Amino acid sequence: MARIELTDIRKVYAGGVEAVKGVSLSIDDGEFVVLVGPSGCGKSTLLRMVAGLESITSGTVRIGERVVNELEPAERDIAMVFQNYALYPHMSVRQNLEYGLKNRKMAMPEIARRVDEAAGILEIAPLLDRKPGQLSGGQRQRVAMGRAIVREPAAFLFDEPLSNLDAKLRVQMRAEIRRLQRRLATTSLYVTHDQLEAMTLADQLVVMNGGRIEQAGRPMDLYERPASLFVATFIGSPAMNLVPLDSTGGAGEGLAGLDGLPGAASEGVVLGIRPEHMRLVEAGREPGEFVADLTVTGVEVVGAESYVFGALAEKGPEIAVRVPGYSHLEPGTKVRAAGRLDAVHRFDSASGRRLD
């Protein structure tokens, strides 16, 4: 096991694309770090530089005590799990698990011990004699994990390992990977574009955007105190509601009670509030609340709860409000929503940065 330390890592591809623009990141021994961000933001490039599959333009990668920039992938003591499993189709599960260890001329009894242990942990012992083609997607994913585990590496690297699975299996495997990582306590760097997967897996969540880190920290800290508009809207579903005060005539047309807000609600400020911090009200408001007059545009019924979407004022933004149970509101209905003032975030509209 080991710490991983990235210092000011950059990657410029031949042809000039700067995919990673100076990233520094520390991953503690045994920590599970998830890199999340939209497609093309440089996640895979960063991971591949740690793995040694891509050259590093500048900066240093340390795994344990060593700077590994110039080391071959095989010398870095890491194991990578990919989206497409990369299993050998003509080999049995057992042979797939043994393959990397045999290549390293490990003694047969040690290979057998590791394979049996991994098969036990992953509950794939009954599948050892099958070929990958005779396995379900989830079983293949488990074998791919097994191949990483038997190497007993200093760190696991995952690149969107669950993307090929259906929704139900993805949730199940997500929980399995988390349990497994806790049990093995192996330092892990995991890449995904799925913010929910990222939230549920990470000890430390790292949000990337355009080749840079937007924010890193514990998942709930990012959720509760997003450092930028980008993080505010990327983490959480439905996304945080945003009201740019410029577009609503400075004071916020359709809004009342913002004078109770700590910090100014004026032009150049974007207000943010999550759907669960708002509620539909008949009239009036409680102390500590503001109100928004909305025209319903649609309803999403999730099951135990619904989200009511409504337009603020004439040309204002759409606001989502979480309501319990099944909402029957028709589009066009006028409703009033109240939101907690202490749950309002303020951002600078020019820079997108959080104001307080």
Give the nearer residue to ligand ADP in terms of CB position, either 42 or 252: 42
Burial of 200 (0-12, 13-18, 19+ CB in 10 A): middle
Give least dist CB 353 to Mg ion, A: 27
Q: Let me know: does 265 contact 271? Beta carbons within 8 Å.
A: yes
Going 55 to 80 to 46 to 30, the CA torsion angle's sign is negative
Could you say which residues in the range 107-126 bind Mg ion, by CB under 5 A?
A: none
Give the nearer residue to ligand ADP in terms of CB position, either 40 or 263: 40
Give least dist CB 147 to ligand ADP, A: 22
Give the nearer residue to Mg ion in terms of CB position, either 161 or 316: 161
Give least dist CB 272 to ligand ADP, A: 25
Could you say which residues in the range 115-144 bind ligand ADP, by CB under 6 A?
A: none
Give least dist CB 312 to Mg ion, A: 36
Give least dist CB 40 to ligand ADP, A: 4
Closest C-alpha to 21, from 255, 212, 264, 292: 212
Give least dist CB 41 to Mg ion, A: 9
Could you say which residues in the range 236-255 bind ligand ADP, by CB under 6 A?
A: none
Q: Which does 45 bind (CB under 5 to 8 A by kind): ligand ADP, Mg ion, none?
A: ligand ADP
The one-character DSSP state at 13 is: -
Please report the DSSP string for 73-107 in residue order: GGGTTEEEEETT----TTS-HHHHHHHHHHHTT--
How many CA atoms lie less than 13 Å away from 117 in the CB half-sphere?
13
Could you say which residues in the range 273-332 bind ligand ADP, by CB under 6 A?
A: none
Interface with Mg ion: number of residues (CB under 5 A) = 1
Q: How far apart are the C-alpha atoms of 131 and 165, rounded to whole Å?
A: 19
Give least dist CB 211 to Mg ion, A: 13
Q: Which does 263 bind (CB under 5 to 8 A by kind): Mg ion, ligand ADP, none?
A: none
Q: Would you count residue 195 as binding ligand ADP (CB under 6 A)? A: no
Q: Which of 44, 186, 192, 306 binds Mg ion (CB under 5 A)?
A: 44
Q: How far apart are the C-alpha atoms of 231 and 144, rounded to whole Å?
A: 32
Backbone angles phi, psi at 318, to 5 degrees: -85, 135
Backbone angles phi, psi at 70, to 5 degrees: -100, 5
Could you say which residues in the range 29-68 bind ligand ADP, by CB under 6 A?
A: 37, 39-45
Q: How far apart are the C-alpha atoms of 305 and 254, rounded to whole Å?
A: 25
Give a three-class secondary structure readout of 98-158.
Answer: HHHHHHCCCCHHHHHHHHHHHHHHHCCHHHCCCCHHHCCHHHHHHHHHHHHHCCCCCEEEE
Give the nearer residue to Mg ion in terms of CB position, either 161 or 272: 161
Residues of this chain that interact with Mg ion (CB under 5 A) are 44
Residues of this chain that interact with ligand ADP (CB under 6 A) are 13, 15, 17, 19, 37, 39-45
